[in-house]
A and B are shown apart, each in its own frame.
Chain A
């Protein structure tokens, strides 16, 4: 306590003195001893001296005499003592901190605000470590993260999913990898996130409006897959991960190596997964009045495979850090054969001859990325550059059949999307005064989207966006900080014309009919501009942090929302864009209280949100060529909700955790006034018990058993054309242990997991197959081994 009073006293004293005296300035940087990455939020304390290291680890001390001893502390690191050398004016002082964390502690840390910087960041943020990902690994990255309260997924079968934060998904959640926004066909119903979930060390999830920092689309939140830590100097490490699953007969292998000489380092990873049709606890699917008999409970043709490769090379110098990442993700997934979307299909394909093959309909996607991250440290400035090139190629194949006026096509390529995105972000972090950290920067992005195939949904387009932002993080005191900033974005969308490849019969105004090649998209140039911003405060004590944040975020309309004009036969709807759409603007108030002690933790994060003009695909009462017209429409939307989290260590070994999440949405005007929004997740809770064995059993070390019981309420808040979904309860069990197989230093990690223990038949309201009444996957046993070397 005395320490804290002193620290506050010093900081006040120093802030008064700092403008008066300019002599004897000491500049330094705090780095992680192992990875050489900057450590932000470290406390630097000396006789009448106090500073906190900035985001890039830098600090400045004024009025320092030679020989002064400073103490540098940070949560999770051992304190370091440094004597200021005589020649400090000529060089920066580098303070190395050694981590005190052990792996097992890190697993528990998830869900809490781990780093001091996170605790002081005024938005509700969850950090997921590599250990958390390892302990909770599911079939896709987002399924792994859905254990975090407020995070859910839209699943497409067993191998694909897309992120949902507090009930909003698609283009309202930004996924950022190594600083560059992941750009694919996020708007698509059957599109999943094409990112290898292995090799990710740290994910930051922001629940709330984050356009200020992340630009358009970060309206509901951000999934930020951060660049992995730089390997230790003169090291070579690697790991092989093996995974087997019983439900979809999955076999997966992922192997990664990383090495560093002194200044140069590299990493490489290869992942391969292959899985069969997944099993559901049902013999037949009843969809409306159709009945699909299932062969051995398997959802036919939902098999898939995935091949990913990644390589990066980097350099770390005294004033520069740079890494270039190359990655390619390839996936091929079958779609349920009896109904593609809502369209019931019969086929002469013998789907049941093998559960591993992928027949029509299927999609394949290839995502290639090159990203460079470079940071320059120059005095009080840190300059970050992020350059990205990515190409997303996605093909949807289905058996060609005539539809409406379209004759039978002669190949299976229904839709092909080829999208290339160039990104450039530049950011300067500047510490003019130890209480201020000013950040300003730009984000620019150019997209080129090409289409082919016999089906038409969205036109070819080019899109350019640029945003400029500035914010200031002010450490008002040791405990209290403020962050606020403004941003302006500008966007240009250039849609290209599209004309049907077949003639349609069109009625003329005089009653006669004629045969015409219908033009579905016009050549249009659209411009958008938007101002967004946010302000928040955080108050942090030893065990508790309080945050209050208000922000305006936005999203540019997408080309499908602007210019769709085609029949989506799989959904039995005619999708009609609207060129008059405005950028979505959302205002949100967030509160976050987080309390953690050794044996007890409690967190609550409520929010209130108002959308001025939420864009959604509204089913109208009208028809176009006998399919229902769905029109992109905007309406005012009010949302309220939040998450609650509670944890208690009953004994030294046994810990209980409980969490709950809830979102309520209501459209305030428009054709669906009083209705909720599509894909609203129901109220849901998770109760977990974790028992850690303190003693080793045979060769099992750090043995722990976890039981997760998920309770989800009925969802009867729906909007056409959704169906209500009953509540459910599901139990998952897992056992984790380290094994002393080859060496006691590098222990093999073993994980045994039993999902859906009672083979419960239940429906997930936000699953892609929910609309055709397909239940979720049945019981699954998975075994995973991680072998380090």
Chain B
């Protein structure tokens, strides 16, 4: 009888312990959604395998959205002469043979959005310098929201004469 009592004490403690853990209230709201980024719309630029001509100016455009507030975005353009990576657009571009970089184009810029919009169109004008190496390049857009969630998209492009 005595050991039964002991047993019930243990079972009860267990019950209380596990019910108290599961009573999570939802009032503790938190942002659980990542921002979204895409170049797959009319006006999104560049598209996969786009060829950029030296000396021309292009507007790099991507659409970003978030459920609460967008915070920052960035654009990175670097060479892919060594074929170290590929894009996430599904299309396979014809890559030129592997080569050493001499004066590759390098673009790295960060931008912040002051008023925390829920949607925005990235629009960055970039002039392709006359003296950069032609060949395969990789272009990557990134976006964060105010919570610190991030999304990225990347696309393979070329710079030609």
B160 within 8 A of A: no
- B110's partner among A602, A622, A664, A666 (CB-CB below 8 A) is A622
A502 within 8 A of B: no
Given A672-B148, A718-B32, A720-B149: A595 and B110 within 8 A (CB)? no
| Complex Cα gap A255–B143 (Å) | 54
| Complex Cα gap A641–B86 (Å) | 44
- B17's partner among A408, A621, A628, A642 (CB-CB below 8 A) is A642
Are the C-beta atoms of B106 and A348 separated by less than 8 Å?
A: no
B1 within 8 A of A: no
Are the C-beta atoms of A404 and B7 separated by less than 8 Å?
A: no
| Complex Cα gap A751–B61 (Å) | 61
Given A544-B6, A604-B17: A621 and B86 within 8 A (CB)? no
| Complex Cα gap A77–B24 (Å) | 48
| Complex Cα gap A43–B82 (Å) | 73
Give the size category of B's interface with A. 35 or more
Given A621-B144, A621-B145, A626-B108: A644 and B150 within 8 A (CB)? no
Are the C-beta atoms of A626 and B6 separated by less than 8 Å?
A: no
Give the size category of A's interface with B. 35 or more
A529 within 8 A of B: no
- A674's partner among B30, B76, B90, B104 (CB-CB below 8 A) is B30
B79 within 8 A of A: yes
Q: Which chain B residues lie closer than 8 Å to A408 at the CB level?
A: 82, 101
Q: Which chain B residues lie closer than 8 Å to A399 at the CB level?
A: 84
- A623's partner among B18, B88, B142 (CB-CB below 8 A) is B142
Given A402-B79, A405-B106, A572-B152: A347 and B84 within 8 A (CB)? yes
The residue in B75, B84, B86 that gathers the most chain A C-beta atoms within 10 A of its C-beta is: B84
Q: Which chain B residues lie closer than 8 Å to A644 at the CB level?
A: 14, 18
Shortest CB distance A349–B (Å): 11
Are the C-beta atoms of A602 and B140 separated by less than 8 Å?
A: no
Write the chain B residue with the least CB distance to A718.
B32
Q: Which chain A residues lie closer than 8 Å to B145 at the CB level?
A: 621
Shortest CB distance A78–B (Å): 27
CB-defined A-B contacts under 8 Å, sample of 10: A290-B86, A604-B17, A619-B149, A621-B148, A626-B110, A627-B142, A644-B18, A671-B148, A720-B147, A720-B149
Are the C-beta atoms of B83 and A346 separated by less than 8 Å?
A: yes
Write the chain A residue with the least CB distance to B111.
A623
- B21's partner among A289, A405, A664 (CB-CB below 8 A) is A664
Given A621-B145, A622-B144: A346 and B109 within 8 A (CB)? no
| Complex Cα gap A346–B93 (Å) | 14
B7-60 interface with A by 8 A CB criterion = 7, 10, 13-14, 17-18, 20-21, 24, 28-30, 32
Given A408-B101, A619-B148: A345 and B140 within 8 A (CB)? no
Per-residue CB proximity of A340-351 to B under 8 Å, as 1/0?
000111111000
Q: Which chain B residues lie closer than 8 Å to A666 at the CB level?
A: 28
Shortest CB distance A669–B (Å): 12
- B86's partner among A344, A401, A404, A672 (CB-CB below 8 A) is A344
Shortest CB distance A660–B (Å): 8
Given A604-B14, A674-B28: A401 and B110 within 8 A (CB)? no
- Of all A-B residue pairs in the complex, the 7 with the closest CB atoms, nearest first, are A621-B71, A623-B110, A289-B88, A619-B148, A626-B74, A626-B76, A674-B28
| Complex Cα gap A407–B21 (Å) | 52
Shortest CB distance B15–A (Å): 10
Are the C-beta atoms of B146 and A621 separated by less than 8 Å?
A: yes
A242 within 8 A of B: no
Are the C-beta atoms of B88 and A290 separated by less than 8 Å?
A: yes
Shortest CB distance A234–B (Å): 47
Write the chain A residue with the least CB distance to B146.
A621
Q: Which chain B residues lie closer than 8 Å to A664 at the CB level?
A: 21, 24
| Complex Cα gap A7–B52 (Å) | 92
Write the chain A residue with the least CB distance to B28.
A674
A727 within 8 A of B: no
Per-residue CB proximity of A54-66 to B under 8 Å, as 1/0?
0000000000000
A758 within 8 A of B: no
Are the C-beta atoms of A662 and B21 separated by less than 8 Å?
A: yes
A640 within 8 A of B: yes
Are the C-beta atoms of A602 and B10 separated by less than 8 Å?
A: yes
| Complex Cα gap A627–B78 (Å) | 14
| Complex Cα gap A618–B17 (Å) | 31
